[in-house]
Amino acid sequence: MRLNKFLSGCGLASRRKCEDIIKAGRVTINGKVVENLATDVDEKKDKVAVDGNLIALPNQFVYLKMNKPKGYACTASDERGRKTIFDLVQSDVRLFNVGRLDYETEGLIFLTNDGEFANLVTHPKYHFEKEYVATIEGDIKESELAVLRKGVVVDGVRMPTAKVKYMGYDGTFAKVSVVIDEGQNHQVRRMFDAIGKTIKLLKRVRIGGVHLGGLYRGKTKPMTQDEIDFFKGAK
């Protein structure tokens, strides 16, 4: 296995950043410093260390994206006995969800066994955008959209600004895209509540550079290396 791929697989960083670590002379294989990016590693025999600390591949990291359905809790076990997203997953590896979606919200969520990856995705300093599509009862005025963009006031406190785009009205429901980069509890729902609009359905369709795409409700799909590296590249 190529050394940069091995280091990335150990959860160190993206492959590109692992190349920088190699070139900086911070990596040893069997006690010898290695700076050649073309170096291969026998992951079963070689002892690889970074800054003197031995690292190894886990049995394997797993990275899944799921289209969480409405009516499922984002927890391994629910004290109220509700269905959870893990009822929908078959895996030989113990996984945990990265971030949360509330019980009534559907859409994109990640499942993994890589704690470092989870910290990257959820750490507030990186401000990864999250995009939602809100289906609301009735139509919505441009003046109301402007309030959402500026940040609604809830209990005397102004909520963060948001990118808001009107997507259309079918005569019964309007659809609005909302992009936020902070993770306040129930933020999108509270925004629409503040302007007197009722959300019929709320779906998260994007986290950072990863889109939900055509993934069916309740289904999971392995994340691509590019999708994983999008987050690890922010490190």
- How many domains would you assign to the chain? 3
For residue 70, the SS3 value is coil
Give the CATH number of the domain where residue 120 resides: 3.30.70.580
Catalytic residue among 102, 139, 181, 193: 102
As a whole number of angstroms, the distance between CA 190 and CA 165 comes to 17
Question: Do 83 and 118 fall into the same domain?
Answer: yes
Question: Do 192 and 225 fall into the same domain?
Answer: no
As a whole number of angstroms, the distance between CA 162 and CA 177 comes to 10
- In this structure, what are the phi and psi dihedrals at residue 143, rounded to the nearest 5 degrees? -65, -35
Question: Do 90 and 102 fall into the same domain?
Answer: yes
For helices 115-122 and 225-232, give the axis angle rounded to 10 degrees: 60
Whether residue 132 contacts residue 107, with contact meaning beta carbons closer than 8 Å, is answered with: yes
Question: Do 77 and 183 fall into the same domain?
Answer: no
Where among 30, 55, 80 does a domain terminate?
Answer: 55
Question: Do 164 and 138 fall into the same domain?
Answer: yes
Whether residue 129 contacts residue 183, with contact meaning beta carbons closer than 8 Å, is answered with: no
Question: Do 99 and 138 fall into the same domain?
Answer: no
Q: Please report, as a single letter, which amino acid is at residue 152.
A: V
Is 102 annotated in the active site? yes
Question: Do 74 and 94 fall into the same domain?
Answer: yes
Question: Do 177 and 117 fall into the same domain?
Answer: no
Note the pLDDT of residue 92. 78
DSSP secondary structure of 76-142: SS-TT---BGGGG---SS--EEES---TT-EEEEEEES-HHHHHHHH-GGG---EEEEEEEEB---H
Give the CATH number of the domain where residue 178 resides: 3.30.2350.10
Residue recorded with tokens 């729902």: 189
Structure tokens at 147: 């309030």
Give the CATH number of the domain where residue 27 resides: 3.10.290.10
Note the pLDDT of residue 193. 94
For residue 147, the SS3 value is helix
Question: Do 165 and 105 fall into the same domain?
Answer: no
User: Which residues form the domain of 140?
Assistant: 129-207
As a whole number of angstroms, the distance between CA 7 and CA 116 comes to 13
Question: Do 119 and 147 fall into the same domain?
Answer: no
Note the pLDDT of residue 6. 87
Question: Do 136 and 23 fall into the same domain?
Answer: no
For residue 150, the SS3 value is helix
pLDDT by 10-residue block (mean), the chain, 235 residues: 84 77 95 95 92 84 95 86 92 83 96 83 88 97 95 87 96 97 85 95 97 96 94 82
Question: Do 111 and 100 fall into the same domain?
Answer: yes
As a whole number of angstroms, the distance between CA 7 and CA 217 comes to 34
